[in-house]
């Protein structure tokens, strides 16, 4: 099993965090991983993307040219990366920031109003965890329990209220993914 994924969006949307938490959890589960971030000179508002590979086999290269999964949090990310997706791949995108979507018919498309859901959960900054939930709910790339443990140890003392919202966002994303099985 090898899944090559690109997560992309504006800086500040948490795209690097999606790849980082998935890679950390997969590593804890004994899988081989790579995590390769790329971002523009602007910390917030510039473009950012991360290539994450999770595999039960050794990984030859961290560079993802033809992703199996694309998480696009804005339209420029779809425009840039969707054309190179593998046929049969999974595109997970934020409908609030991707007004044109994607015209490809040979991929699975999961359109989610991530901004709206994050706002309903009480914090726009959990939109990346909505996306993470959709990824794990659709691909089983990692176990929810592993991710929950990592997030809890990372955030419990720092910001317990945000931890609760993050976990709710992941679960909401997983529920959405079930609609596409």
User: Is 100 exposed, middle or buried (CB count within 10 Å of its CB: 0-12, 13-18, 19+)?
Assistant: exposed
Note the pLDDT of residue 154.
86
Domain coordinates in residue numbering, the chain = 2-178
Which pTM was predicted?
0.93
57: left (phi over 0), alpha (psi -120 to 50) or beta: beta
Q: Specify the 3-state DSSP secondary structure of 111.
A: strand
> Digits of tens for pLDDT over the chain (181 positions)?
999 999 999 888 889 999 999 999 999 999 999 999 987 655 556 679 999 999 999 999 999 999 999 999 999 999 999 999 999 999 999 999 999 999 999 999 999 999 999 999 999 999 999 999 999 999 999 999 999 999 999 888 788 889 999 999 999 999 999 998 7
Handedness of CA 87, 9, 140, 114 (dihedral sign): negative
> What integer pLDDT is reported at residue 159 of this predicted model?
87
Distance between CA atoms of residues 67 and 116, nearest Å:
27
**What pLDDT shows up at residue 172?**
98
CATH class in words for 2-178:
alpha beta
Strand locations in the chain, DSSP E?
Answer: 2-10, 32-39, 47-55, 69-72, 90-94, 108-112
Question: Token digits for 15?
Answer: 């795209």
């Amino acid at each position: 099993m090898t899944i090559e994924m690109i997560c992309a969006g504006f800086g500040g949307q948490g795209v690097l965090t999606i790849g980082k938490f998935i890679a950390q959890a997969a590593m804890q589960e004994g899988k081989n991983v790579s995590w390769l971030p790329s971002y523009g000179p602007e910390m917030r508002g510039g473009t950012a993307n991360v290539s994450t590979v999770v595999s039960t086999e050794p990984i030859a290269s961290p560079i993802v040219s033809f992703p199996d999964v694309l998480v696009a949090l804005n339209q420029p990310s779809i425009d840039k990366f969707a054309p190179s997706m593998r046929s049969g791949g999974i595109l997970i995108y934020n409908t609030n920031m991707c007004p044109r979507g994607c015209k490809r018919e040979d991929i699975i498309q999961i359109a989610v109003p991530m901004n709206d859901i994050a706002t309903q959960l009480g914090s726009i900054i959990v939109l990346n965890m909505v996306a993470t939930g959709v990824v794990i709910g659709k691909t089983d790339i990692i176990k929810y329990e592993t991710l929950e443990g990592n997030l809890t140890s990372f955030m419990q003392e720092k910001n317990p209220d945000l931890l609760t919202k993050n976990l709710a966002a992941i679960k909401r994303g997983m529920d959405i993914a079930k609609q596409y099985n």
